């Protein structure tokens, strides 16, 4: 999953639904992009899910304007970020993307294409 700002909304619905069902073994990874740390919507809930479901959900942030000492990424989402934090392209890989047009058109889609994700592996809200 790649989300930017309020693009977290559909991702959060899926995360809640999947982690609520103990029989669902879907593995999810999220890169969540925002302007500043204060802009991270639902941060407490996302981090709690990552803590309580580590085998099912991993979380990574990137900020345009990170504070000093920020332990995650900074700047636009890149191919390197995707390669490190999302599953590799494959028949069971499905990447969901939701966010502002600049994130989708200038960062997420070009990076996913560069890494070999095909159109049938990517859904953009």
User: Is residue 6 part of an annotated ligand binding site?
Assistant: no
Q: Could you report the per-residue pLDDT of 22-69, keeping only the tens digit for each?
A: 999 999 999 999 999 999 999 999 999 999 999 999 999 999 999 999
Predicted structure pTM score: 0.96
Identify the CATH class of 2-124. Answer: alpha beta
Q: Could you report the per-residue pLDDT of 72-89, keeping only the tens digit for each?
A: 999 999 999 999 999 999
Buried b (16+ CB within 10 A) or exposed e, 55-65: ebbbbbbbbee
Report how far residue 35's alpha carbon sits from residue 104's, in angstroms, rounded to the nearest whole number: 15
């Amino acid at each position: 999953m790649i989300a930017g700002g309020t693009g977290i909304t559909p991702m959060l619905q899926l995360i809640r639904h999947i982690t609520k069902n103990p029989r669902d073994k879907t593995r999810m990874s999220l890169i969540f992009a925002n302007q500043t740390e204060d802009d991270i919507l639902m941060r407490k809930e996302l981090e709690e899910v990552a803590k309580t479901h580590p085998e099912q959900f991993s979380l990574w942030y990137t900020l345009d304007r990170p504070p000093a000492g920020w332990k995650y990424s900074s700047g636009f989402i890149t191919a390197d970020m995707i390669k490190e934090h999302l599953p590799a392209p494959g028949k069971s890989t499905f990447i969901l993307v939701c966010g502002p047009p600049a994130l989708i058109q200038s960062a997420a889609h070009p990076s996913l294409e560069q890494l070999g994700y095909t159109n049938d592996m990517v859904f953009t809200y």
